[in-house]
Amino acid sequence: MKINLEFPEDFLWGAASASYQVEGGIYNVDWTEGAKIGKVPMADDRVDHYHKYEKDFALAKELGQNCQRISIEWARIEPEEGKFNEREIEHYRKVIKDMKSKGLEPFVTLWHFTIPIWFYKKGGFLNSDAPEIFARYCNYVLRELHNECKYWDTINEPIVWASNGHMRGNWPPFKKNIFEYFKAIKNQAKGHNLVYKENKSRYPNIEIGIVKDNINFRSDNMPWNRIIRKFTDYHWNHYFFTKIKNNYDHIGLNYYFDSFIGRKPNWYLELPKNDMNWTLSPEGIYFVLKDLERYKKPIYITEAGIADREDKYRASYIKDLLFYVHHAIQEGLPIKGFMYWSLLDNFEWALGYEKEFGLIHVDKKGHRKVRESAFVYKRVCESNKLEIE
């Protein structure tokens, strides 16, 4: 028997990407500095979305989508401290206009992980003026582009960024220092708050949100592990919200996996894994969404996806995710859109180009090929419903 699960009218369906991961031609950021000393791979120009965005958005449109998430590259806009590059603003203006002309509602993130070298050299988010420096860049972009786009997000995944760069030491600035970790988070939050306060009063028609990376934490029944689970859940999923109280209009949720504290049961160990070695746990999105209900804000799923070079699990994973998203909507959660990560195969940070998340495969020469799973997602986007057997 087939059942159709209908999504709300006006639901946004799309895909996401981030400037450094797809644009090419960006060689003045902390990541390129890290690549020069061999600590992370170098992103190259193979995807070249900077020049091919019209074609890519045309593909997204053909795939039935009606929104698209991108990010703006800070180092293009402000290549030297305080000097803003109007040509690059015009580039992004064209990009956003192109999306709109194709019927794709733009979602724009102001900062997705990479920082200009000049800021990196000043200590990045550890600099005591970091909040103002970050706000100055965002204010400039919003002054120029607020008329072009309604949905803005300041920061992509503050906790992931701070933990990889300041605690685990595997992303720039390659630090392992708990105090600096907290300082970086504090300064990101302060920067976000400045941007929100200054720009909401100036441009009341735009929405300014935050993109949070939430994990579904599970544990076994050992009391100690249950306590660790509670604490980790609070820190990873909610701490940042306590720092930006009342200063956001929507939540962008990025969901990828769950994390099991304690002894994993056999049924869990047997679940399939994706190419990142992450356990496929689509139901986790439901728990993570329910956990955001307390903030009483509209929620856009700004990323959820799977690295799956063979395209073996992608279609069913997307359908499973959407089943749980639909269930959460039925329970009254204000979920307004879903953006699959990612539109294109791209630079997967410290893992380079090996991991392929795209609805569209991109080879080394930049040729695009739509994957079979993208057509399954297309049926959902076009009909605004999920068909299940």
Residue tagged 């890290």 (tokens):
34
Nearer of residues 68 and 254 to ligand BGC, judged by Cβ: 254
Phi, then psi, of 272 in degrees rounded to 5: -65, 160
> Treating both helix axes as pointing N-terminal to C-terminal, what angle do 314-330 and 284-292 enclose, rounded to 10 degrees?
30
Closest CA to 359 of 320, 314, 319, 316: 314
Concatenating the DSSP letter of every residue in 164-191 gives IIIIS-SSTT----HHHHHHHHHHHHHH
Nearer of residues 151 and 341 to ligand BGC, judged by Cβ: 341
What residues from 319 to 338 belong to the interface with ligand BGC (CB under 6 A)? Answer: none
**With binding defined as CB under 6 A, does residue 111 bind ligand BGC?**
no
Closest CA to 358 of 312, 326, 311: 311
**With binding defined as CB under 6 A, does residue 341 bind ligand BGC?**
yes
Contact pick of 78, 213, 258, 308 for ligand BGC (by CB under 6 A): 213
Closest CA to 178 of 245, 238, 126, 246: 126
Least distance in Å: CB of 341 to ligand BGC?
6
Contact pick of 114, 156, 279, 373 for ligand BGC (by CB under 6 A): 156
* Cα separation, 136 vs 124, whole angstroms: 14
Nearer of residues 18 and 130 to ligand BGC, judged by Cβ: 18
Contact pick of 303, 308, 345, 356 for ligand BGC (by CB under 6 A): 303
**With binding defined as CB under 6 A, does residue 18 bind ligand BGC?**
yes
Residue tagged 């746990």 (tokens):
281
Nearer of residues 160 and 325 to ligand BGC, judged by Cβ: 160
**With binding defined as CB under 6 A, does residue 360 bind ligand BGC?**
no
Stretch that binds ligand BGC, among 74-82, 133-141, 155-163, 225-233 (CB under 6 A): 155-163
Stretch that binds ligand BGC, among 130-138, 154-162, 185-193, 332-340 (CB under 6 A): 154-162
Give the burial class of 378: count Cβ atoms within 10 A of its Cβ; 0-12 exposed, 13-18 middle, 19 or more buried: middle
Residue tagged 């030491």 (tokens):
169
Instruction: Mark 246-265 with x for binding to ligand BGC (rule: CB under 6 A) and - for no binding.
Output: --------x-----------
Nearer of residues 13 and 340 to ligand BGC, judged by Cβ: 340
- Compute the C-alpha angle 278/317/229, nearest 5°: 45
**With binding defined as CB under 6 A, does residue 157 bind ligand BGC?**
yes
Stretch that binds ligand BGC, among 94-102, 152-160, 188-196, 323-331 (CB under 6 A): 152-160
Least distance in Å: CB of 167 to ligand BGC?
15
Nearer of residues 18 and 339 to ligand BGC, judged by Cβ: 18
What the block records as the tokens of 63 is 């795939």
Strand pairing partners for 300? 252, 337
Least distance in Å: CB of 22 to ligand BGC?
10
Report how many residues bind ligand BGC under the rule CB under 6 A: 10
Contact pick of 56, 207, 320, 348 for ligand BGC (by CB under 6 A): 348
**With binding defined as CB under 6 A, does residue 72 bind ligand BGC?**
no
Closest CA to 107 of 215, 232, 30, 208: 208
Cα dihedral sign for 155, 156, 158, 164? negative
**With binding defined as CB under 6 A, does residue 339 bind ligand BGC?**
no
Collapse the DSSP code of 143 into the 3-class scheme (helix H, G, I; strand E, B; otherwise coil) and give the result.
helix
Q: Where on the chain is the footprint of ligand BGC (CB under 6 A)?
A: 18, 21, 156-157, 160, 213, 254, 303, 341, 348
